Amino acid sequence: MTKAKLTARNVDVFYGEKKAIDDVSIDIGNGVVTAFIGPSGCGKSTFLRTLNRMNDTIAGARVTGQILLDGEDIYGKEMDPVALRARVGMVFQKPNPFPKSIYENVAYGPRIHGLAQGKADMDAIVEKALTRAGLWPEVKDRLTDAGTALSGGQQQRLCIARAIAVSPEVILMDEPCSALDPIATARIEELIEELKDRYAIVIVTHSMQQAARVSQRTAFFHLGKMVEYGETSQIFTNPREVRTKDYITGRYG
């Protein structure tokens, strides 16, 4: 792999006394899609949230170890978590547009981060983000409609546009298709393929088929540990660990 975008070393996460992530170290590459798989409760979402400090917002959650973004400690004193979350954007399981217009959903981030020089510039940023998210043709004539008036699949692409609008370097997606039908899912998967050259993308998924289709690297988690990490094709055809094999062959999960 080329130089890692994100490097995690010996990361533990605690909720109160309970350890939810145990000594995870991983290098996440640029220009590739990395899938996190594993049974429910194994810590996929918890670990994903360490990568942009979303765990900071959870009372009782504590992260130890080191996570570097381009060599810079994201838990370091100089790191502003709000600025970090613009660089490392997140898309959630359930589409969660703001109760605002389609336009405002996308313009919100660039506005608070001061990325636009006036209205024409903001219009261009909004159009570009919606275009990259594959939504522009469907919404260009209804930008003032509420974001929540869109279909579920459109809302999820709006949330992707919102993440992209602040020019992130990494996009974290936590089961982004689990609330979508197969057609909307296929659309998001195509979009991930189109976006991957520009960003480091990490996707949590319960679908082995989806992990195999969209990712180049896969990490298998079990009971808070990262059991195995490698090329997606290797993980699915020739796993080294028995626990990985048992999971991908449907023995548990």
Ligand X SMILES: Nc1ncnc2c1ncn2[C@@H]1O[C@H](COP(=O)(O)OP(=O)(O)OP(=O)(O)O)[C@@H](O)[C@H]1O
The residues binding Mg ion (CB under 5 A) are 45
61-69 and 18-29 beta bridge pairing: unpaired
15 belongs to the binding site for ligand X (CB under 6 A): yes
Binding partner of residue 124 among Mg ion, ligand X, none, CB cut-off 5 to 8 Å per kind: none
41 belongs to the binding site for ligand X (CB under 6 A): yes
Residue 218 bridge partners (DSSP): 35, 230
213 neighbors 32 (Cβ within 8 angstroms): no
The single residue among 2, 40, 117, 144 that binds ligand X, judged by CB under 6 A, is 40
- The three-state secondary structure class of 27 is strand
* Residue 6 CB, nearest approach to ligand X (Å): 18
Q: Which is nearer to Mg ion, 135 or 201 (CB)?
A: 201
243 belongs to the binding site for ligand X (CB under 6 A): no
176 belongs to the binding site for ligand X (CB under 6 A): no
Q: Which is nearer to ligand X, 41 or 76 (CB)?
A: 41
Task: Provide CB contacts within 8 A for 105, sequence distance 6+.
Answer: 97, 98, 147, 158, 161, 162
- CB 192: neighbour CB atoms within 10 A? 22
How many Å apart are CA 15 and CA 75, to the nearest integer? 17
Counted residue by residue, the chain has a size of 253
Half-sphere exposure of 190 (CA within 13 A, CB side): 12
Q: Which is nearer to ligand X, 30 or 52 (CB)?
A: 52
For the record, the structure tokens of 120 come out as: 């024409």
14 belongs to the binding site for ligand X (CB under 6 A): no
223 belongs to the binding site for ligand X (CB under 6 A): no
Q: What is the 3-state secondary structure (H, E, C) of 109-132?
A: HHHHCCCCCCHHHHHHHHHHHHHH
Q: Binding string, 46-65, against ligand X, x = CB under 6 A? A: x-----------x-------
Q: Which is nearer to ligand X, 40 or 117 (CB)?
A: 40
252 belongs to the binding site for ligand X (CB under 6 A): no
Binding partner of residue 110 among ligand X, Mg ion, none, CB cut-off 5 to 8 Å per kind: none
Query: What residue ranges bind ligand X (CB under 6 A)?
Result: 15, 20, 38, 40-46, 58
